[in-house]
Chain A
Amino acid sequence: MSDAAYVELACASHFSFLHGASNGVDLLGRAFDLGYAGLGIADRNTVAGVVRVWLALKDARNKCHEVLGEPPPDFKLVTGARLVFADGTPDIIAYPETRHGWGRLCRLLSTGNLRADKGDCVLNLENLLAFHEDLLLIVLPTSTRREDEGVERKAEKQTILPPDEKGVSPLSNVIPAKAGIHREVNAHGSVDSRLRGNDGTEGGNVIPFPQRPTQDTLTRTLATLRAVAPDRVWLGVAMRRSGADQRKLAKLAELASSAQVPLLAINDTLYAAPEDRPLQDVLTAIRLGITVQEGGKRFEANAERHLKAPGEMARLFRDYPEAIEQALALHARICFDLDDLKYEYPHEPVPNGWEPLAWLKHLVAEAAAKKWPDGAPAKLPALLEEEFALIGSRPDLPYYFLTVHDLVSFARSKGILCQGRGSAANSMVCYLLGITSVDPTKYDLLFSRFMSEDRLEPPDIDVDFEHERREEVMQYVYDRYGRHRAGIVATVIHYRSRSAVREVGKALGLTEDVTTRLVSTVWGSYSTHMEEERFKETGFDLDNPEIERLNHFVAKLLEAPFPRHLSQHVGGYVLTEHRLDETVPIHHAAMEKRTFIEWDKDDIDALKLMKVDVLALGMLTCIRKAFDLIRNFEGQGQGQDYTLDNLPKEQDDVYEMLCKGESVGVFQVESRAQMNMLPRLKPRTLYDLVVQVAIVRPGPIQGNMVHPYLRRRQKKEAVVFPSPAPPHNPRELHEILGKTLGVPLFQEQAMKLAITAAEFSPSDANKFRRAMATFRNVGTMPQFEEKMVGGMTRRGYSQEFAQRCFDQIKGFGSYGFPESHALSFAILVYISAFLKKRHPAAFCAALLNSQPMGFYAPAQIVGDARDNQVEVREIDAAHSDWDNKLEPGADAPAVRLGFRQIDGFREEWAEAIMAVRGTISSGDPAQRIEALARAAKLPARALRLLADADAFRAFGYDRRQALWEVRRTPTDALPLFAAADARELGQEEDPQLPAMPLGEQVAADYQTTRLSLKAHPMSFLRDLFAAEGVLSSKQVEDIKDGTRARVAGVVLVRQRPGEGKAIFITLEDETGITNVLLWARDFEKYRRPVMASRLMEVHGILQKSDEGVVHLMGAHVIDRTDLLDRLSEDHETRLQLSRADVFEHPQLSRDNVPRGHHPRNVRILPASRDFH
């Protein structure tokens, strides 16, 4: 038995979504254990999962080699795809024999993908015939196409990639196709069309598909393929213990011999081991939208579709041993490995006649001359030389820099703000090319951190663009390189506990209510598995078989983790010189006009393809809009032409404002935690902001770095640097940690600490960095702990100090910012703070115009601007634009709110109004409204929204009168009357409507625009609260620490940071805000008022810090929302919660968020909820 050899070539991993039930790596491991000579992974119309399996094998080989010192085992992984056709052709498993074949396979899949909607693929046999070269084809007896699969999208929405240029396929220049007979056969011309039987493509989107492929289809398919590829077709046959296996095998053998096609043994594997059958059934149930109880015959009858031992396969195929030999023969023939994917950067950015590196040097030299006309800094030549040496060490790299430069130049030419971030800021070249705005010489940043020879992975330049205009840059990329050469990287969306519980629960027949209840306890964080606690919290017991089953399968889905579908990465592009669709298949994204490849970031890294990140940042939009507003508004201290670079640096008044904690709307430091930190940290220079940005993050807070740093900064504690024992440099720590007062804050410092103080090799340090950065490598941290603490004590540091350093580094783990990244952000912090201080009106308008972004709702942004003496004017049909804009004010510009603030108002209505309102002649208010409606062709809804928003005041009507009037204003102009230009409506008697009280006005303001300039809702209730002894937030500031107090206010935000021990609630009243802290145990007690209140009263004890940060430690919470009814019994006052509210907008927590959690990942604001 042991001498039996076998290779499974029909193996589906879990990237055959909801078909395959095993991780590809598990399959690989199992095949290894069973003594296979190799394995073929072929997922349904995709190669999305192959890279990780390939990488796992590579890692295992290296491990064998390095760790065990053994020669790597003789095991060959082959990668292909199972083609599922839409035209009734039976499934065909295709393996590329050569690199050329891989290109054909990718082209074939791309063709199918781009004819379908996201996630689907429409393939016909013709497509295969067009791209069959160098593919080894295993024809299976039946088709596994599902009813809803292979549906073509509308012809005009399909993407057609350009065909190969005449004569040469670009790739075939590089990798010639394997010469063979097939070429000659193909040269005969196209295939005999009579051979094909079921070509039903005429008309219609859905291709008719016979329910059961008949023997005839199979015969025809075999004959067709055999004609074009005589030595590359097999007939795959599986023995599934279905009762008549031997008879079927004999029949297929007969068929194969008459078709002159060899028989090939497969097991059509869906999972690694027979125990996985239940999971596969659950997946099938999810796929079919049924419960397992309803599954019955739609499930597999038995658990035979696992990887079987070679001996077992030999026994099953004892009558046809040649079928097994054929599998081995096919496997042996394949000489393609994913390593063969040679990659080349696009050459576009280099002008003809230039060498890329020379061109890069030329550009940099030009930029340097421009930047420093009077001579460059002394350090520059050496720095550039070092960088160019590294860049020149790999032929691709100059292209990479030039490509990014090309994008940035495009953005500049269109006036789109952009800024590089992340480690690229360490590079002088990036700085001079205008990719980043941090001068590395000033901050002593190391280029080698950005890219060292040791780091095998390609460098990573992330560039942020304005979020509203990023699409322009993205489309530019497609236009410049073509969709066949540029694609967005995929992101694999995995099952998370929420989705897993929901879908598995449904498949197991649990009601939605039960799963909702289970899911609802997953508070803002997703862990890798549903802990027992969670089940108990919900009142379910694991002893209950149904719940136990749910837990079992959910754990299975989460531990793999199971991919759910592919999605596009936030903005990473892969660009190639040759056809990208010959390297990896391309898909349609769900978003219009986007196409993406089916490999994710890790796959790309593994294959050493480089990616360019085109990211979006809301603050850049805001800054650009503010710059525009300032530039276009002459007088009153405006009119300057700011750019990111020419803004006055290091202005004291700007830092003054930040020190007071006034940072509403300022980039990165507007959160509550940051606001509280500002007065303590008292930033005075840009570098202080760098620290501020980096320190108030979950990592440093949990790593206990904040307090030591603060104490040292406030000079309460001496800054000391322990020294190593001689002969080591006693000041080594001073050099590493000097800038941050001896506290490691940045990733760079952690790495330097490891290299210098613990004598890590650079490559170990890099592994350490990766272990810190990626949560999946958590298991390796103890090794590093030993290495680092051991290394440091060996060199004479105290055990205690070494341990503390390590704990701090471990604490900030994935949340440590690289210094360069923090620097890039700090620049934006400064710029936005500068705008807020010097041009508060423009800043306010720009923030409102860039919504949704940041932490605050418009009401708070406007409130903050008014607190800073900005005059804010009502929306008015006679004055407002769509955007919020500046108007001349008493001494400084005033903000005029725009129509965009009105819920449900449309931009085109606003534009129509702006275009025609100059022509509106005078008359009584009703006539002018009617004239406006006519001229701008406004629909009734637009008029009502305007009246509702109280925007007809300039016409002489208040909200109530206007509403009464527009209700009868005819909107679609009747041509007959319009020609007569006569007023259509007769005079009406006075309706004698009662006047609208102010409270009602405010409530209506909130209802239509979610903010009111007339008054704060709390001001109407002040007398009532004052009588009850409730203090305003202003009063609270003046009372003593430790006093009992009662405050009430509108709930702005509720947060539950870190481990959830406390809930932070921010209340707002007409005098300011109050911060409330509620311990978790009290929260459980006051859960209902906390969750339901929009107007909350809190009793508690006041706590004041030295810096004047005030907290109310809540002891009692009362829901006073019903008081809002006093404003108006008719209009609910729609108060908008901040976007940072965890309950309203649950955020992904640490376990799940990729490194560098960033505002761009925050969801777009969902329609706010009304309260009832």
Chain B
Amino acid sequence: MLAENIWRLDNKPPPDRGEEPIVFVEKLKNAMRLTALSRGAIALGLTPNLTLADARARVPELIALDRDHEAEARLLAQIVAGCVRYTPMVAAEPPDGAILDISGCAHGFGGETGLRADLVRRLKTSGITAFCALGDTPEQARALARFGHKSRDLLGLPVEALEADAAVTLALRRAGLKTIDDLARRPRKMLAARFGDLAIRLGRLLGEQDRHISPERPRPPIFALRRFAEPIARIEDALACLEDLGCEAAQTLLERHEGGRRFVARFFRSDGAILPLEVATGHPTRDPALLIRLFRERVDVLSDPIDPGFGFDMIRLDIGQCETLVARQDDHLAPSRHEEDLAELIDRLSVRLGARRVHRVRPENTHIPECAATACAPSNAPTWEGAPEGEPPMRPLRLFDPPQPVGAVMSEVPDGPPMRFTWRGKSYAVARWEGPERIAAEWWRRRDRGGKPRDYYRVEDAAGHRFWLFRHGLHETGGAPPGWYLHGLFA
């Protein structure tokens, strides 16, 4: 026996604004159209498929949100996963349905009705309104759940329940055939000659054909383990065993075209203690040699070395996180392994120093120097644009944060370079300079659309020290002279 459950998004509003007219909109047929409505919106006479402009003309205070297909799919997946409590045979019917094959599963819940009541109650507690129906075939259940609000009688359903093309449905209605019964009583041949697969749809709906559902089942996690009749006491042996397990897991990964990103090795000591070790890689991998190298690194840097005690009686390797890794043929002519070498280096450093302590620097899309680069996870490979050939570096590699005020600056008004300045109590005379590089403030971050620009100079003193200085603001008549700051030193 089957059941189908349709939930709708129309009750997504947060609890405190239950009756407000909220709609979800999406661009369909060149217009923003309503796709789902709150009860409040339905009560105001709005309907799905109405254009947002029309809806707004009627209800100016309408709250419109963009439809998020991914969120809908996630919610549906959650519901499907939750339904596994009733039967292992559950499948999603996108966009807004789930279908359950409850053959032989109902007794635990007090029969079909009990199961249905339980399902509806559970969904309701999580704020989801569900329309449930039972049918002999998936199509029957689906039709009853979606179109069976008025009659529970299959033959009494409107022809829309066949969910054929809109044009076909209209043609049926124009012909005066309005219910499933009207169709069921006419020769199938007649329908087939005019409406193609409609006859098949009808057959399925009437339960003459059964198309079983294909449930979604999560793939089992990958792991490998080894038990020992006699506990092993040497770390070296344990690691050798781990390598074997790695090979085993690699085999499974290869079959699934996947690679692991996170690996957890657990050493079960005979006294019951479990010692976990975890390594992670920047890219999916299934290379046991690499894996064992990382584990060795990990073991080496443990502050508290592994104590085998009376020995381990079991070792288990879990692949915590998998990603697709398609087998790839090496380029035999140009075996460039540079990228991979770098990735391995990063993995080893991460294992040795801790994942949070290895960074790469990524350029940011801004002119403001202190914001122009940020640290990011090492696995993201940022692209840096090299300086044009023959050009000196315009900015130092590292910046002072915050920029250091410098004093006693002598400079030419309005935009001359500093000729002399004092920093950390020492006075420097500028011998050579270049600039200014004027960088204006980002007006869109400021209420007044203003902000002081900075004039940056690259300067060199007589001893060859190079500084990156800026004047904060421009010289204005009457105002206080702008301040000077040192923002970095050139190596």
Name A residues whose Cβ lies closer than 8 Å to a Cβ of B.
241-244, 246-247, 277-278, 281, 292-299, 301-304, 508, 511-513, 516-517, 520-521, 538-539, 545, 549, 552, 944, 948, 959-960, 963-964, 967-968, 988-989, 991-996, 1004, 1087-1088, 1091-1092, 1119, 1129-1131, 1143, 1169, 1172
Structural contact, A552 and B56, CB atoms closer than 8 A = no
Partner of B453, one of A302, A545, A549, A964: A302
Cβ of B130 < 8 Å from any Cβ of A? Answer: no
Binary contact track B37-75/A, C-beta < 8 Å → 1, others 0: 000000011010111111011111100111000000000
Contact of A278 with B394 at beta-carbon distance under 8 Å, contacts A292-B444, A302-B439, A993-B176 already known: no
Cβ of B434 < 8 Å from any Cβ of A? Answer: yes
Partner of B176, one of A303, A994, A1172: A994
Cβ of B305 < 8 Å from any Cβ of A? Answer: no
Cβ of B365 < 8 Å from any Cβ of A? Answer: yes
Contact of A243 with B394 at beta-carbon distance under 8 Å, contacts A297-B367, A991-B190 already known: yes
Closest to B193 in A: A968
A245, chain B: closest CB distance, angstroms: 8
Structural contact, B447 and A545, CB atoms closer than 8 A = yes
Chain A residues, Cβ within 8 Å of B50:
1172
Structural contact, A1169 and B54, CB atoms closer than 8 A = yes
A539 and B186 CA atoms in complex are apart in Å by: 58
B184, chain A: closest CB distance, angstroms: 14
B44, chain A: closest CB distance, angstroms: 7
Structural contact, B434 and A243, CB atoms closer than 8 A = yes
A349 and B75 CA atoms in complex are apart in Å by: 75
Partner of A512, one of B32, B49, B447: B32
Contact of A964 with B439 at beta-carbon distance under 8 Å, contacts A296-B364, A1172-B50 already known: no
Contact of A243 with B436 at beta-carbon distance under 8 Å, contacts A520-B57, A963-B171 already known: yes
Give 21 CB contacts A-B under 8 Å: A243-B435, A243-B458, A277-B443, A278-B449, A297-B365, A297-B366, A301-B367, A303-B453, A513-B65, A520-B57, A539-B61, A960-B174, A960-B176, A963-B175, A967-B195, A991-B175, A992-B186, A1091-B54, A1130-B170, A1131-B170, A1143-B57
Cβ of B359 < 8 Å from any Cβ of A? Answer: no
Structural contact, B57 and A967, CB atoms closer than 8 A = no
B189, chain A: closest CB distance, angstroms: 8
Question: Which of A948, A991, A995, A996 is packed against the most chain B CB atoms within 10 Å?
Answer: A991
Chain A residues, Cβ within 8 Å of B434:
243-244, 246-247
Cβ of B152 < 8 Å from any Cβ of A? Answer: no
Structural contact, A1091 and B171, CB atoms closer than 8 A = no
User: 6 closest Cβ contacts across the A-B interface?
Assistant: A243-B437, A296-B365, A967-B194, A1130-B173, A241-B438, A302-B438
Structural contact, A302 and B440, CB atoms closer than 8 A = yes
A1063 and B57 CA atoms in complex are apart in Å by: 15
Chain B residues, Cβ within 8 Å of A1091:
54, 57-58
Partner of B53, one of A277, A301, A520: A520
Chain B residues, Cβ within 8 Å of A989:
187, 190
- Besides A244-B391, A968-B194, A989-B187, 9 more A-B contacts (Cβ < 8 Å) are A243-B437, A278-B449, A295-B365, A296-B365, A513-B65, A545-B447, A549-B449, A993-B175, A1172-B47
B27, chain A: closest CB distance, angstroms: 9
Cβ of B139 < 8 Å from any Cβ of A? Answer: no
Chain B residues, Cβ within 8 Å of A303:
440, 453
Structural contact, A1088 and B44, CB atoms closer than 8 A = yes
Contact of A948 with B174 at beta-carbon distance under 8 Å, contacts A1088-B59, A1172-B49 already known: yes
Cβ of B177 < 8 Å from any Cβ of A? Answer: yes
Closest to A508 in B: B444
Structural contact, A241 and B366, CB atoms closer than 8 A = no
Contact of A1087 with B60 at beta-carbon distance under 8 Å, contacts A244-B394, A277-B443 already known: yes
A1131 and B175 CA atoms in complex are apart in Å by: 12
Cβ of B267 < 8 Å from any Cβ of A? Answer: no
A293 and B45 CA atoms in complex are apart in Å by: 39
Partner of A1087, one of B47, B58, B173, B187: B58
A1168, chain B: closest CB distance, angstroms: 13
Question: Which of A295, A520, A967 is packed against the most chain B CB atoms within 10 Å?
Answer: A967
Chain B residues, Cβ within 8 Å of A296:
364-367
Chain A residues, Cβ within 8 Å of B194:
964, 967-968
Structural contact, B190 and A513, CB atoms closer than 8 A = no
Cβ of B178 < 8 Å from any Cβ of A? Answer: yes
Structural contact, B175 and A243, CB atoms closer than 8 A = no
Cβ of B455 < 8 Å from any Cβ of A? Answer: yes
A295 and B366 CA atoms in complex are apart in Å by: 8
A892 and B227 CA atoms in complex are apart in Å by: 105
Cβ of B456 < 8 Å from any Cβ of A? Answer: yes
Contact of A1004 with B174 at beta-carbon distance under 8 Å, contacts A246-B434, A1091-B54, A1172-B50 already known: yes
Chain A residues, Cβ within 8 Å of B177:
993
Closest to B444 in A: A292
A959 and B45 CA atoms in complex are apart in Å by: 33
Chain B residues, Cβ within 8 Å of A298:
365
Contact of A278 with B443 at beta-carbon distance under 8 Å, contacts A297-B365, A304-B438, A988-B190 already known: yes
Closest to B169 in A: A1130
Chain B residues, Cβ within 8 Å of A964:
175, 194
Chain A residues, Cβ within 8 Å of B435:
243
Chain A residues, Cβ within 8 Å of B47:
1172
A511 and B195 CA atoms in complex are apart in Å by: 44
A989 and B188 CA atoms in complex are apart in Å by: 12
Chain B residues, Cβ within 8 Å of A1130:
170, 173-174, 178
Chain A residues, Cβ within 8 Å of B394:
243-244
A440, chain B: closest CB distance, angstroms: 48
Structural contact, A1092 and B58, CB atoms closer than 8 A = yes
Structural contact, B444 and A278, CB atoms closer than 8 A = yes
A1091 and B53 CA atoms in complex are apart in Å by: 11
A555, chain B: closest CB distance, angstroms: 13
Chain A residues, Cβ within 8 Å of B45:
1088, 1092, 1119
Chain A residues, Cβ within 8 Å of B195:
967
Closest to A293 in B: B444
Chain B stretch 354-403: residues in CB contact (< 8 A) with chain A? 364-367, 391, 394
Chain A residues, Cβ within 8 Å of B437:
241-244, 301
Closest to B167 in A: A944
Closest to B63 in A: A513
Chain A residues, Cβ within 8 Å of B174:
948, 959-960, 963, 1004, 1130-1131
B446, chain A: closest CB distance, angstroms: 9
Closest to A992 in B: B186
A636, chain B: closest CB distance, angstroms: 37
Closest to B189 in A: A988
A297 and B193 CA atoms in complex are apart in Å by: 64
Structural contact, B60 and A520, CB atoms closer than 8 A = yes
Closest to B436 in A: A241
A637 and B416 CA atoms in complex are apart in Å by: 95
A1164, chain B: closest CB distance, angstroms: 16
Chain A residues, Cβ within 8 Å of B439:
301-302
A294 and B366 CA atoms in complex are apart in Å by: 9
A241 and B195 CA atoms in complex are apart in Å by: 73
Closest to A959 in B: B174
A301 and B454 CA atoms in complex are apart in Å by: 10
Closest to B44 in A: A1088
Chain A residues, Cβ within 8 Å of B453:
302-303
A334, chain B: closest CB distance, angstroms: 32
A371 and B53 CA atoms in complex are apart in Å by: 57
A948 and B47 CA atoms in complex are apart in Å by: 27
B198, chain A: closest CB distance, angstroms: 11
A210, chain B: closest CB distance, angstroms: 14
Question: Which of B45, B174, B435 is packed against the most chain A CB atoms within 10 Å?
Answer: B174
A243 and B434 CA atoms in complex are apart in Å by: 7
A247 and B32 CA atoms in complex are apart in Å by: 54
A243 and B458 CA atoms in complex are apart in Å by: 8
B467, chain A: closest CB distance, angstroms: 14
Partner of B58, one of A294, A517, A549, A1088: A1088
Question: Which of A292, A552, A1088, A1130 is packed against the most chain B CB atoms within 10 Å?
Answer: A1130
Chain B stretch 450-470: residues in CB contact (< 8 A) with chain A? 453, 455-456, 458
